[in-house]
Structure formats: C-alpha cells, structure tokens
Amino acid sequence: MSETTRIPAPDGVFPAAQYSHVVIGTGRFVAVSGQLALDEDGKLVGEGDAEAQACQVFENLRRCLTAAGATFDDVVKLTYFVTDMAHMPAIRTARAAHIPDDRLPAASAVQVAALVRPEFLMEVEAFAVVAE
C-alpha cells in the first residue's frame, strides 16, 4: 500500500461527506479505464438495475487494480459517469463494500446524456498510487 494523506476538508472548504477533497500519494501511478457492468464473458450484468450494475463495476475495478498490483486502499480518485444521478446511492453502496469511510478517495460525479451503449447506467474510472 502506498503512503497517502487524505484531507477531507481543507481550511475554508466545506467538508465532504462521501469523498476526500484532497488525496496525496507517493509511488507508482495506476490509471484504470472506466469500467462498465460487463461480466468476464462480455455480457451485461443487471439490465435496468443500478445496484447490480454498480456491484459489477466495482468488481471489475477490483480485478483491474489487482492486475496492476493495487487494491482499493491505493485508490486516490474515482470518477463516476452516470446517466441519472438517482443511481448514486447504488454506487455509494457498492463503493462502501470495497472502501471504508476512513479511506475515501477524491471523487467526481458527472451526469452524462449517454454511455457507449444505452443499457449501461454507469461507468467508473479509478486512479491509484502504489508504493514502489
């Protein structure tokens, strides 16, 4: 695990409830492309079901991080792309299964008009810093 410092509320900035405003890490940078709710055979998991899609997305993120020698403890930034902000509670639930509240990374959430295929409700990318 890399050495990281999380600053949930820098002086003069309103405290974040679901992320850290600043995460400082030292080590090897890992970028994980946006993950979709596809299983290992390329089949959609959870058509129309935000919770099922979020669980699959975070499982895919975990597998990608593992391939890079990283874990969710090393994640310093998550970006959520959602077709509807109503899907954010499902994403937060899936994230909580992998990342404890005291290790929350920096984060951004963006509502988009569409993803690469209309059945996808979300895409999540991750940045991590792994100790060398």
- For the chain, domains (ranges, CATH) are 20-130 (3.30.1330.40)
For residue 26, the model assigns a pLDDT of 86
Ranges of the chain with pLDDT below 50 = none
Element (H, E) at 30: strand 28-35
pLDDT value at residue 2: 57
pLDDT tens sequence across 46-81: 999 999 999 999 999 999 999 999 999 999 999 999
Closest among 19, 17, 61 to 38, alpha carbons compared: 61
pTM, to two decimals? 0.90
Q: What percent of the chain has pLDDT over 90?
A: 79
Strands 28-35 and 122-130: antiparallel
pLDDT computed for residue 23 by the predictor: 86
pLDDT of residue 131: 86
**Maximum pairwise Cα distance, the chain:** 48
